[in-house]
Amino acid sequence: MSRKGDSFAGLTVALVTPFQDGEIDEAALRKLVDFQVEAGTDCVSPVGTTGESPTLTHDEHERVISIVCEQAAGRIKVMAGTGSNSTAEATRLTKFAKAAGADSALLVAPYYNKPTQEGFFQHYTAIADAVELPIVVYNIPGRTAKNIEPDTIVRIGAHPNVVAVKESTGSMDQASQILATSELTVLSGDDSLTLPLLSMGGGGVVSVVGNIVPKDVKALLAAFGAGDLAEAQRWHHKLFPLCRDLLGLATNPIPIKAAMQALGRDTGEVRLPMTPLSEAENARLVETLKTYGLEA
């Protein structure tokens, strides 16, 4: 069946925000966008979890969105991270993203203040009412401290401007319920769960590992789309150790930035309170990269 957010199906890469001596490295950010365009990635998502949005100032947050939209220049879609635990601030950021040329907005569930389910519903509805831009609900209770329940997501998804959900609960039951009872496109928020989610009718993934191997993630998606389950499973098993370490060695985006540094694609710099991998963790990551076939 066709779904509301089918135009955002496929591979969206959750971009890191590159830093150099504590400042945003704008030239490096532009290169990241070009790399994804050349890889055939469908969409990039700046200033989400992987983009270290909690440590960016409001001006920096807007600057990153502007740079990515400008560099994308219509060659690749942009799903800008515009979420906040303040509805007014999320609305302002979403309006900014639209003006900057973003194709959609990724809005994380309000964190720390832990709204009721009705609060979640009213939060997303208010933003969707205020901004004519496709909205992707980002549900990641491991970071926000509270789940947006499936029934609530279905209610939110009835709004014409809400088209998809980035499903990061790790619950296949939750994803199944959303797929069965709504027209929303469901995107995996966990690289290692992409194939299981596709098998239930999911539309793709918002990927961390895609920062370094976007073509491989695309190959998994293409194999599944072509009905070649054995080939999709082969890619899943190849990618799994990399996905496991990039999200398991330390809090995202610490490992992916370390991996990009090892591959000569980033300084590896993170902002406090994020801290670099330990020597032992970094050694394990480098070994995983080598085993995968990526030369550090």
Does residue 134 form part of some domain? yes
Does residue 244 form part of some domain? no
Does residue 148 form part of some domain? yes
Using a cut of 0.85, tell me whether the model's pTM lies above it: yes
Alpha-carbon distances, residue 9 vs 34, 162, 166, 273, 295 (angstroms): 20, 14, 11, 33, 30
Average pLDDT, the chain: 97
| Active-site annotation holder among 4, 77, 166, 257 | 166
pLDDT band at residue 196 using 50, 70 and 90 as cut-offs: very high
Residue 124: active-site member? no
Residue 166: active-site member? yes
Does residue 288 form part of some domain? no
Does residue 103 form part of some domain? yes
Please enumerate in sequence order all residues whose Cβ is within 8 A of that of 84, keeping only pairs 6 or more positions apart, or say none.
90, 93, 108, 110
Please tell me whether the peptide bond between 276 and the residue prior to it is cis, using omega within 30 degrees of 0: no
Predicted pLDDT at 233: 98
Average pLDDT (215-239) is 98
How many domains, in total, are found in the chain? Answer: 1
Asked if 172 and 180 count as a contact pair (C-beta separation under 8 A), the reply is: no
DSSP at 16: -
> For residue 100, what are its two tokens?
């900057």
Q: CA torsion angle for 111, 113, 115, 120 (degrees, to 10)?
A: -40
Predicted pLDDT at 122: 98
Does residue 181 form part of some domain? yes
Average pLDDT (216-243) is 98
d(CA 89, CA 87): 5
Average pLDDT (13-34) is 98
Does residue 173 form part of some domain? yes
Does residue 257 form part of some domain? no
Give residue 157's domain range: 6-226
Over 70: is that where the pLDDT of 51 sits?
A: yes
| Active-site annotation holder among 4, 77, 124, 138 | 138
pLDDT band at residue 206 using 50, 70 and 90 as cut-offs: very high
Over 70: is that where the pLDDT of 296 sits?
A: no
Predicted pLDDT at 116: 98
CATH number, domain of 111, equals 3.20.20.70
Over 70: is that where the pLDDT of 201 sits?
A: yes
Predicted pLDDT at 230: 98
Asked if 131 and 162 count as a contact pair (C-beta separation under 8 A), the reply is: no
